[in-house]
C-alpha cells in the first residue's frame, strides 16, 4: 500500500508536474501489470512503459514521488516496482554506511 503519510498535501504546486506527464492520457494498462502477469508479456509491457518515461519531461519528479511514497505498483519515473525497491534498499544501506554489495544492491 502507498504510504499516504508521505504525500505532500493538497497544495496544487505539489501536483502540477502530473499535468505535463507523457503518460497523462495513456491509461493505466501500460504501467500496471494485471494479476499474475509474468515472463515476456510483463517484460514487454514494462519496456513499453519505460519508453514513454524515457521521453517524459517530468520523469525525475515522478520517480521522486514514487520513491517518497513507496509506491508499491506500476512503472513510475521509468522504474518498475522491483527496481524502485532495490533503489530504496541501496539508498537505505548507503545512509546507514553499509557498502552497496552488503546492502543488497546490484
- The 10s digit of each residue's pLDDT in 31-73 is 999 999 999 999 999 999 999 999 999 999 999 999 999 999 9
76 is in an annotated binding site: no
Q: Backbone phi, then psi, for 79, in 5-degree steps? A: -125, 140
Residue 51, in any domain of the structure: yes
Residue 68, in any domain of the structure: yes
Rounded Cα distance, 6 and 8, in Å: 6
pTM over 0.85: no
Mean pLDDT score of the chain, rounded to an integer?
Answer: 85
CB atoms within 10 A of CB 75: 26
Residue 32, in any domain of the structure: yes
11 is in an annotated binding site: no
Rounded Cα distance, 23 and 17, in Å: 12
Nine cell digits for residue 38: 509474468
CB-based contact 47:78 (threshold 8 Å): no
Instruction: Find the domain containing 71 and state its range.
Output: 9-79
Residue 96, in any domain of the structure: no
Residue 66, in any domain of the structure: yes
Residue 87, in any domain of the structure: no
Tell me the pLDDT band of 25, cut-offs 50, 70 and 90: very high
**Confidence (pLDDT) at 11:** 59
Q: In total, how many domains does the chain have?
A: 1
Please state the rounded mean pLDDT for residues 84-96.
Answer: 85
Residue 95, in any domain of the structure: no
56 is in an annotated binding site: yes
Residue 36, in any domain of the structure: yes
pLDDT surpassing 90 at residue 92: no
23 is in an annotated binding site: yes
Amino acid at each position: 500500500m502507498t504510504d499516504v503519510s508521505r504525500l505532500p498535501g493538497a497544495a496544487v504546486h505539489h501536483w502540477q508536474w502530473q499535468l505535463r506527464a507523457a503518460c497523462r492520457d495513456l491509461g493505466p494498462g501500460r504501467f500496471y501489470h494485471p494479476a499474475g502477469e509474468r515472463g515476456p508479456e510483463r517484460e514487454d509491457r514494462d519496456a513499453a512503459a519505460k519508453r514513454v518515461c524515457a521521453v517524459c519531461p517530468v520523469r525525475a519528479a515522478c520517480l521522486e514521488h514514487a520513491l517518497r511514497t513507496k509506491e508499491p505498483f506500476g512503472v513510475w519515473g521509468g522504474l518498475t516496482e522491483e527496481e524502485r525497491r532495490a533503489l530504496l534498499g541501496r539508498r537505505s544501506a548507503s545512509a546507514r554506511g553499509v557498502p552497496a554489495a552488503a546492502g543488497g544492491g546490484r
